[in-house]
Amino acid sequence: AGAGPNKDFYARNVHPEIHRHCSKLYSQGNYFHAVFEAAKVYNKKVREKSHSLEDGQSLMMGAWTTNGVLKLTACKTETDKNFQEGIKFLSAGLMQAMRNPTAHEPALDWPISKEDCLDMLSFISYLFRQLDRAIFFKGK
């Protein structure tokens, strides 16, 4: 499974959701669409886990904030809060920098190289792993 055109893809050990939604697109050289799919799936999974109707950047800014419903830490110490807020901004940045351009620009006008695709999929994979660890916490 690790040979052929997907060798670099498999070497990244991406999150199972990215593997499921993007491996075929990647193997076809559809790097633009692989990134778009990964970002859309992450958005959908955050929406589901946070029980939110928001989308994109506003979803990430609300769900991952220190008083939001997705918790990676207790959000008590400065380090806890920094990490939680960091994931919020990384997730919002994903929407702004990767999902939105691929949603609004034609693929020919917004080319994504193989290397950039692998880096973006690895980045989204990291966020998926944080989402897997996160607990839903409704608060008071």
Structure confidence by residue, pLDDT tens digits, 46-88: 999 999 999 999 999 999 999 999 999 999 999 999 999 999 9
pLDDT at 2 over 70: no
Q: Cα separation of 40 and 44, whole Å?
A: 6
pLDDT at 1 over 60: no
Q: What is the pLDDT of residue 3?
A: 57
User: How far, CA to CA in Å, does 53 sit from each of 62, 72, 103?
Assistant: 11, 21, 19
- DSSP type of residue 73: S
Q: Contact 45/101 with Cβ under 8 angstroms? A: no
**Which runs of consecutive H residues, i.e. helices, occur in the chain?**
7-11, 16-27, 31-50, 56-63, 78-94, 100-104, 114-133
Structure tokens belonging to residue 44: 């959908």
Nearest CA to 102 among 20, 6, 37, 55?
37
Q: Cα separation of 86 and 62, whole Å?
A: 13
Structure confidence by residue, pLDDT tens digits, 117-132: 999 999 999 999 999 9
- pTM for this prediction: 0.94
Structure tokens belonging to residue 125: 């994979």
Mean pLDDT, the chain, whole residue set: 95
Percent of the chain residues topping a pLDDT of 70: 96
Structure confidence by residue, pLDDT tens digits, 4-42: 668 999 999 999 999 999 999 999 999 999 999 999 999
